[in-house]
């Protein structure tokens, strides 16, 4: 019955939109609400990911129409929260069929380290004396790290040579606290830099959840027989805090950067996300500025811009054309409108049994957008994933790889200067490799406690799911 009400509510909203807006201002209203467009329209010239976050307010009837739709949308969202997780339309989530009110979820009890890190997160950026002002069109850069200091040094060395890096803010997000990583970041002098530390990382809780609890189920323990705490994943594996931390950190970071930090919660432009094992080319920032400026005109259906191809082994086609393809996980940037869409799908993200944030996005969140989720990139890469040799790129000597901090990568002159041309057309990869309907995930994310903590992160700054 609840599912039928859910479907009728969606139909009612869609019918109202068609009648009221006649396909005119649909993208604008959906962008305000952070709800993805349900089907393409012929009369809409600009894609939702290219719109500014707030409407212009020029239409004298807009406020009345907006209020009417907000009432319907609120009804729809309440219904979506009240029904069971298991639905025919929730790809891969049907493994869990419990339901709970996210408003009643609470964050775990903090220890002294957690409280101290949360206070540090409120500190102002460093180097304000060297770089007192940010450029008006700056793109914030977020570098998320764990505990690989030899990788971090390489990533930061590459960033220090990026043209325009002194115009923006670099946020380094740590999964826990590691003094060696902290000292490396504190030595940065090439731009404004702010450190944030995940205060609920499993790495800072030694004897309680989200870390290892004395009562946690271990190995193949059956909770109902051993009387231990935890819920096994779909493959029968009990919780591993180190594995779970990967997805938790990414989701906590996203919510904190977009909705929590005073430095970024009002940021109206794009934000670039990179990792500690990404080498960034000198032309990356200027190329990204060009891509975000060209995206509304060249690829209105693109939700993001990428520095690198989605295939981590590729350095690009080398064409004289821009490329639209599926979003990759190396150097991706999007705006607040897209974040609101992602955030509306918090339940899909938090309940999908896969500890990988990127696979979760590809398998459950992006499919909910209602069509192909494209990103715009240049025909030559401006970033590479190095990591450990053999981890992602294999043992091929021609591939960029790192061993104890030595990077096997030679830059060509063309990769040192901006090389995106505004006159180029866009080649679109129509066939998007991905995960088919029914894919259940690789596991590692079956514990109900992780699901609840993940959903709590989505609501900790007042944003509703």
Are 369 and 334 in contact by the 8 Å Cβ rule? The answer is no
Question: What backbone torsions phi and psi does residue 361 show, to the nearest 5 degrees?
Answer: -65, -45
* Residue of 334, 324, 331, 294 whose CA lies nearest to 421: 294
> CA dist 192 to 172, 189, 255, Å?
11, 8, 21
* Residue of 327, 332, 331, 363 whose CA lies nearest to 345: 363
392 is in an annotated binding site: no
277 is in an annotated binding site: yes
Label residues 366-379 b or e (16+ Cβ within 10 Å = b).
bbbbeebbbbbbbb
101 is in an annotated binding site: no
Question: CA-CA distance, 30 to 347, in Å (whole number)?
Answer: 19
Which residues are within 8 A (CB) of 208 and not within 5 positions of it... i.e. 6 or more apart? Answer: 108, 109, 111
Question: What backbone torsions phi and psi does residue 456 show, to the nearest 5 degrees?
Answer: -65, -40
Burial class (CB in 10 A: 0-12, 13-18, 19+), 273: buried
Are 294 and 422 in contact by the 8 Å Cβ rule? The answer is yes
Question: CA-CA distance, 437 to 362, in Å (whole number)?
Answer: 11
Summarize the annotated binding site for Mn(2+) as residue ranges.
Answer: 277, 385
Residues annotated within the binding site for substrate are: 175
Q: Which residues are annotated as a binding site?
A: 175, 277, 385
């Amino acid at each position: 019955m609840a599912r039928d009400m859910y479907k009728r509510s969606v139909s009612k909203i869609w019918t109202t939109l068609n009648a009221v807006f006649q396909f005119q201002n649909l993208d604008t209203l959906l962008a305000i609400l952070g709800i993805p467009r349900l089907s393409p329209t012929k009369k809409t010239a600009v894609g939702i990911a290219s719109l500014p976050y707030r409407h212009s307010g020029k239409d004298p009837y807009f406020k009345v129409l907006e209020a009417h739709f907000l009432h319907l949308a609120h009804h729809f969202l309440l219904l979506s929260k009240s029904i069971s997780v298991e639905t025919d339309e929730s790809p891969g989530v049907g493994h869990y069929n419990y339901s709970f009110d996210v408003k009643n979820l609470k964050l775990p009890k903090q220890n002294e380290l957690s409280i101290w890190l949360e206070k540090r997160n409120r500190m102002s950026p460093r180097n304000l004396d060297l770089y007192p002002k940010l450029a008006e069109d700056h793109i914030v850069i977020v570098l998320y790290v764990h505990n690989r200091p030899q990788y971090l040094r390489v990533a930061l060395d590459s960033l220090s040579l990026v043209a325009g890096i002194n115009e923006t803010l670099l946020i380094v997000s740590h999964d826990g606290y590691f003094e060696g990583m902290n000292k490396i970041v504190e030595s940065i002098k090439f731009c404004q830099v702010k450190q944030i530390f995940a205060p609920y990382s499993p790495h800072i809780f030694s004897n309680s959840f989200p870390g290892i609890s004395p009562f946690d189920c271990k190995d193949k323990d059956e909770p109902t027989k051993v009387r231990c705490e935890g819920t096994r994943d779909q493959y029968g594996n009990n919780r591993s805090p180190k594995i779970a931390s990967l997805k938790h950190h990414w989701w906590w970071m996203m919510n904190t950067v977009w909705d929590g930090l005073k430095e970024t919660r009002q940021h109206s432009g794009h934000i670039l996300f990179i990792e500690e094992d990404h080498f960034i080319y000198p032309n990356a920032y200027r190329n990204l500025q060009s891509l975000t400026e060209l995206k509304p005109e060249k690829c209105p259906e693109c939700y993001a811009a990428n520095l690198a191809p989605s295939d981590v082994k590729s350095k690009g086609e080398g064409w004289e054309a821009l490329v639209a393809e599926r979003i990759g996980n190396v150097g991706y940037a999007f705006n607040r409108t897209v974040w609101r869409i992602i955030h509306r799908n918090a339940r899909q993200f938090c309940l999908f049994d896969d500890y990988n944030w990127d696979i979760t996005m590809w398998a459950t969140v992006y499919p909910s957008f209602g069509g192909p989720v494209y990103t715009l990139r240049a025909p030559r890469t401006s970033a590479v994933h190095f990591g450990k040799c053999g981890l992602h790129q294999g043992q091929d000597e021609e591939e960029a790889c790192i061993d104890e901090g030595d990077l096997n990568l030679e830059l060509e002159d063309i990769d040192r200067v901006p090389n995106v041309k505004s006159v180029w057309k866009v080649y679109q990869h129509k066939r998007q490799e991905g995960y088919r309907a029914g894919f259940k995930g690789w596991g590692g994310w079956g514990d109900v406690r992780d699901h609840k903590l993940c959903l709590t992160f989505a609501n900790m700054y007042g944003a509703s799911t």
